[in-house]
Amino acid sequence: MEQAVNATIIRAAAPFVALALALPAGAGAPLPPDPLDLAWCVERALEANPEIAIDAASAEAARARILPAGALDDPRFGYDAVNLPVGRWDFDSTPMSGNQLGIRQRLPFPGLLGHRERAARAAADAAGSVLEDRRLRIRSRARALWAELGYAQRALAITRRNIALVRQLARIAEARYAVGRGLQQDVIRAQVELTRLLDQEIARRAAVERAGAALVSLLDLPPDQVLPETAPLPDESPVPALEGLYEGLETRHPRLRALAARVEEADRLRRVAELEGYPDFDLGIGYRIRSRVPGDPAPGDDFLSAGVTIRLPVNRAKWRERVAEREAQLRRARAEFHRTRLEIEEAIRARHADLRRADEAARLLRDGLVPQARQSLESNRAGYEVDRVDFLSLIDAWVRLFDAELRLERTWADRHRAFAALEAAVGEPLR
């Protein structure tokens, strides 16, 4: 009976075991949705990208330095065999001998530990802001790569659709030439355009593979993962006003917050260097255990002792140079903050101009050029079939539509990229 039950279990589990063995090595990664959604790509990038994990570990390490930075040094325990006579090496020959136990504690100059702790806290704040800035950059990069993949896929689809159209036009030209109604040069022109499109198709397939590989790497997916078609590229998010993007930049932008924390850290470390140039103290207490010795004026009594040691920083030139080093580092931190602020302001202006240009171009192409070019092609095609339009005009109309459709998809992708770059420059999502 037991053997029959075991055989039944094995037969039931066999398909699942076979399926598990057949899964690829990267099967643990989630499958991308179809169509490929932008929100999913952003979420996956923020979750799995190793650059974020690196900065997160650095931020955690920085937080762990705060408590040790403000703590006293560990006390030191000591033992001394005191005043042993060289001739006998014992503790009961003279009343001066004994076993002494001691403990010492180093006390820095007042305020030193507080400044060290505040410097470590500022460094932890900077690391946290660096992590936030990294997440913002990864989010922007995911949006840009998603848009680039979408453009590459749509450019390939447009090219293939136009290949089918040019083949149809070539067949019409060949049929008209065969019955004496067309010209041989029309047939040759159609074949030239078809060859050109086939060459573009090869390049656009390679562009899809490159864009897909870049996005797969960012999302930490298996290297052989084939991404599905992206969701539609058009984005109607309004362009924000430029004036409002500069408000509260120091507190809003994580990169500026990180540099402001670095300035605070440098200032605290400068103060630490100043306080390290003052004396610190070692306090100690000892307890000597003595034996009973004849003639001892204090027969059998143990001795208690206490003392203080003061470090004397007599080499003032050394401490002045340490302070000078910290002051230079503080000036550098302030200059880096100012330089980065100027760079961010310039980037906001440039990315806002890119976004505004892409937005205006998208509206012009979508509402004007593309429908007009499509209407022109249909009109020329109808005229060509009744000998009212020559083949050259028909091909020119087709080229204008083909170019307009590609430009529209390129503009939608550029709008996504410019919006993502503007969000990275501003320091927060704008949609």
Q: How many CA atoms are closer than 13 Å to the CA of 318, on its beta-carbon side?
A: 7
14 burial level (CB within 10 Å; 0-12, 13-18, 19+): exposed
Same domain, 216 and 232: yes
Structural domain including 78 reads 74-107+279-312
Same domain, 197 and 335: yes
Same domain, 48 and 117: yes
Residue 104 phi/psi, 5-degree rounding, is: -130, 145
Same domain, 342 and 361: yes
Same domain, 307 and 360: no
Q: Residue 194's domain is classified under what CATH number?
A: 1.20.1600.10
Domain boundary (296, 312, 328) is at 312
Residue 291 phi/psi, 5-degree rounding, is: -95, 165
Supply the mean pLDDT for the chain.
Answer: 87
What is the reported pLDDT for 28?
A: 63
Angle at which helices 254-276 and 316-364 pack, to 10 degrees?
180
Query: Is residue 431 domain-resident?
Result: no
Query: Is residue 12 domain-resident?
Result: no
Same domain, 151 and 181: yes
* pLDDT(321) > 50: yes
Query: Is residue 5 domain-resident?
Result: no
Query: Is residue 331 domain-resident?
Result: yes
Token pair in block for residue 47: 């979750």
Cα–Cα distance, 430 to 143 (Å, whole number) = 13
Same domain, 112 and 257: yes
pLDDT: which is higher, 29 or 42: 42
Query: Is residue 14 domain-resident?
Result: no
Q: How many CA atoms are closer than 13 Å to the CA of 89, on its beta-carbon side?
A: 0
Same domain, 400 and 268: yes
Q: What sign results for the dihedral spanned by CA atoms 20, 23, 25, 27?
A: negative
Query: Is residue 8 domain-resident?
Result: no
Q: Scanning the structure block, which residue is given the tokens 């086939």?
A: 198
Token pair in block for residue 256: 């500026």
Is residue 228 within 8 A of residue 103, CB to CB? The reply is no
What would the pLDDT profile of 6-23 be if each residue is shown by its tens digit?
444 445 444 443 433 334
Query: By C-alpha distance, which of 427, 392, 329, 373 is closest to 173?
Result: 392
Same domain, 289 and 190: no
Number of domains into which the chain is organized: 2
pLDDT band at 351; cut points 50, 70, 90 = very high
Same domain, 145 and 286: no
What would the pLDDT profile of 168-212 be if each residue is shown by its tens digit?
888 888 887 787 777 888 888 888 889 999 999 999 999 999 999
What is the reported pLDDT for 7?
A: 47
- Residue type for 357, please? R
Same domain, 182 and 228: yes
For 285-319, letters b (16+ CB in 10 Å) and e give ebebebeebeeeeeeeeeeeeeeeeeeeeeeeeeb
Cα–Cα distance, 42 to 34 (Å, whole number) = 15
